[in-house]
Amino acid sequence: MAIDRVGVIGAGQMGSGIAEVSVRAGVDVTVFETTDALITAGRNRIVKSLERGVSAGKVTERERDRALDKLTFTTNLSDLADRQLVIEAVVEDDAVKAGIFAELDRVITDPDAVLASNTSSIPIMKIAAATKNPQRVLGLHFFNPVPVLPLVELVSTLVTDKAAAGRTEEFASSVLGKQVVRCSDRSGFVVNALLVPYLLAAIRMVEGGFASVEDVD
């Protein structure tokens, strides 16, 4: 079944970006945050981004309004009960994420719903272990800024249900228009596993006197 009801946990830079691209694609999105102040900040972030799109001629006023009509916010996690896909985008703290996933596992009513983490570095299995249904947990790592960068890493663990991963890939590619890279559940996944050695090599070149900072830049 196609995914058209999405939940997003966290309305920060990444969460608001994920919510924005989803509602622009016509998806019904509910965003969870812990306080009304954080909800206001997240909504303002999305509105300003859409307004920039209108000013640049990339988004029409009608598209902006239709997108905002698809967007709701809540401080009650139970309001995400009917979501087919929930994407967590909170602080990179494995204990915090594990607690959220344990609660989502209890709250989400659809047994086929997918629980995804936007983590860039924490092993997905470590997060999935906090749930009673680890087979529906996977990684869906977007890159910042989400409305601009096309890449998404889809991370399956050894127990992730293949159908769940397939539905999520179809959503990210066909609905959101993202370029999906399938990854195994390893440190850094693909992009950061490539990026970190590259950055370390640049640092060593400068420290060794082989090139200046300006040359490396």
Task: Give catalytic residues, as residue numbers.
Answer: 120, 141, 153, 192
Query: In 10 A of CB 73, how many CB atoms?
Result: 20
Letter for the amino acid at 42? G
E-strand spans in the chain?
5-9, 28-32, 71-74, 85-88, 114-117, 137-142, 151-156, 179-184
| φ/ψ of residue 98, rounded to 5 | -60, -40
Contacts of residue 217, defined as CB under 8 A and 6 or more positions apart, other chains included, come to none
Classify residue 135 by its DSSP letter: G
Contacts of residue 207, defined as CB under 8 A and 6 or more positions apart, other chains included, come to none
Letter for the amino acid at 96? V
Cis link prior to 111 (omega < 30° from 0)? Answer: no
One DSSP character per residue, 154-173 reads EEE-TT--HHHHHHHHHIII
Contacts of residue 37, defined as CB under 8 A and 6 or more positions apart, other chains included, come to none
